[in-house]
Copies of this chain bind each other. A is one copy, B any other.
């Protein structure tokens, strides 16, 4: 039972679709977080579900770790091979298998990316709304329970996956859910596998919900005198029942980064970036009501964009926050945080966080999917500065405590991976033992992405 033996068998199965080339292993050991390069022993490129099943059967027989790999855009090191093993790269399983436009769903292979799906949907008048920023694969998004800027209106990936095909840890292939919009027939295995980070099985097919492209879209930016008035604007907007498609908080430091990186000239104050979807009449009404609420809270410097190009520019700016964060402190490396709290505690949580970061002497931005209570700090850390790194560590650990103090969660959308394993017990208490029991039952050898999500010792 060795990884080497697994590789020999896999080479027989996959021929040149199994590689141990150093460059490719290295690429699969890279990550967008702060973890060292951690490469697998081999990378497999299956063409279909049967091959994934055979790969997992071989690995199960050899007790060899199996790590599903999408686009590698995880921020918590989900794809890293800390115990070696086989990275199963899904990029060749990237077909859109069916679009059911009357049912507003599509059946896709896991390597399909969100932009690819939306390109294929262009002629249908439909779109897939979940947008984590990166052009992630749908399999990866489901595995990590991704969300992003549009979750406030359209839900996270969890609400947008109807059914899946999964290869289990022993190679069996199961189908969860159906194309029916709802069902009351048994344990919700679809939702169990969404967010399981590859630790229970490999997703080989997904049926996802689609939505009609709105007749009209209007977006805006506006600035606020302080953080609380921006957050209160969001709370009041939600309470008025005004459906926002996006509502993003951006702090003064982040605005500085945007201005530096994008050449924009936004006032260096807290901002909201908003977007409304609907009929022309509805969007005009929503935008008007939002504007009234925001102005009552002291908002200023409104910029409305209803043409597609201006909106693209706005959301590209938001999506490229990572690079703009670097522009705040050129030469630094950026570490991202991701807590989510009930929105009534959001202003307090951000203010405490700002105060602590300032006291620690850290340079950091705050951006937030504020309609969901989810916010990220981008900490700009000088390279090779252990003192600053230690401060950042204190800061992120206190952020996690703050999330739990306010009845929130240590990860709104980035997942646990390896970086946040240490918080699982604090967040879940005895419920963690149920997760461990499920993991042991479905993956008794602990070969499916071992060392991620569920602390097993």
Contact = CB atoms under 8 A, between A and B. Distances in A.
B340 A104 contact: no
Interface residues on A, range: 35 or more
B241 A185 contact: no
Copies in the complex: 2
A185 B409 contact: yes
30 contacts: A101-B239, A102-B342, A103-B342, A145-B184, A168-B434, A174-B433, A180-B372, A180-B374, A180-B403, A181-B343, A182-B340, A182-B372, A183-B411, A184-B411, A185-B409, A186-B432, A187-B195, A187-B196, A187-B200, A187-B434, A187-B438, A188-B188, A188-B191, A192-B192, A212-B238, A215-B241, A281-B282, A282-B285, A437-B442, A441-B441
Contact of A180 (B215, B409, B435): B409
Interface in A106-153: 125, 144-147, 151
Interface stretch (A55-63, A259-267, A306-314, A423-431): A423-431
A315 B289 CA distance: 31
Contacts of A289: 279
**Residue from A172, A182, A238, A403 having most chain B Cβ neighbours under 10 A:** A182
Nearest to A441: B441
A427 B185 contact: yes
A261 to B, nearest CB: 27
A147 B412 CA distance: 27
Given A431-B176, A438-B441, A182 B413 contact: yes
Given A174-B430, A184-B415, 17 more contacts: A102-B235, A103-B342, A104-B238, A180-B341, A180-B342, A180-B403, A181-B343, A181-B373, A182-B340, A185-B409, A185-B410, A185-B427, A185-B428, A186-B453, A187-B435, A281-B282, A282-B285
A113 to B, nearest CB: 19
Nearest to A163: B407
A178 interface: yes
A178 B340 CA distance: 10
Interface in A389-448: 403, 407-416, 420, 423-424, 427-435, 437-442
B173 A435 contact: no
A303 interface: no
B102 A344 contact: yes
A105 interface: yes
Contacts of A211: 241
Contact of A434 (B189, B403, B423, B432): B189
Contacts of A344: 100, 102-103
Nearest to A374: B182
A124 to B, nearest CB: 10
A194 interface: yes
A240 B183 CA distance: 25
Contacts of A340: 180-183
Interface string A190-210: 011011100010000000000
A103 B187 contact: no
Contact of A431 (B100, B175, B239): B175
B178 A414 contact: no
**Residue from A183, A187, A410 having most chain B Cβ neighbours under 10 A:** A187
A329 interface: no
A330 interface: no
A104 B235 CA distance: 10
A418 to B, nearest CB: 13
